Amino acid sequence: MIVRHGVYLDRVTWHESLIRFSAWMTADPPPENALRLAHHLQNLTPFPFSVWNLCAIEDASYEKLLICGDLKSAAKMLLGPHMRHSVRSRASGNGVTVRVWCPGNAAVAVARDADIPRALVKAWAGYALARLEDDRSIAA
């Protein structure tokens, strides 16, 4: 776990950034870019969301995973120590469905894509948005 001190976005900006990120993911960006941007957003997670959205790896180590092409491990690092996931292959054999959640919280996100890394990134963003929607202290 990496502890960051004082370098966070405010809740509204983080929320808006996640919405833009999720919309951008529908354009099918290169997976390395999606993972890199998601990792940066994770590092900027404001309190109290940073409690469950912990950065599980140093930036340099994360970048090394991307450079080496280990996209699946990089995507799993986004989930940190508190989030859980399940992966199901589609019956048609084309792509996967990923479900992401935190034990003890009702929010769940499901994402479908051609591969596990993309689906995990989409589900991570969806889960973060679901947690934000659950929080009543977000400014409108």
Percent of the chain beyond pLDDT 70? 91
Backbone angles phi, psi at 34, to 5 degrees: -65, -45
Q: How far apart are CA 16 and CA 14, in angstroms?
A: 5
- Does residue 66 lie within any of the structural domains? yes
pLDDT at 80: 85
Query: Three-class SS string for 23-47?
Result: HHHCCCCCHHHHHHHHHHHHHCCCC
Range of the domain at 21: 11-134
- Does residue 1 lie within any of the structural domains? no
- Does residue 6 lie within any of the structural domains? no
Q: Tell me the DSSP string of 1-28.
A: -B---S----HHHHHHHHHHHHHHHTT-
- Does residue 72 lie within any of the structural domains? yes
Provide the number of structural domains found in the chain.
1
- Does residue 5 lie within any of the structural domains? no
* 3-state secondary structure (DSSP) of residue 139: coil
- pLDDT tens by residue, 5-52: 567 888 899 999 999 999 999 999 999 999 999 999 998 988 888 878
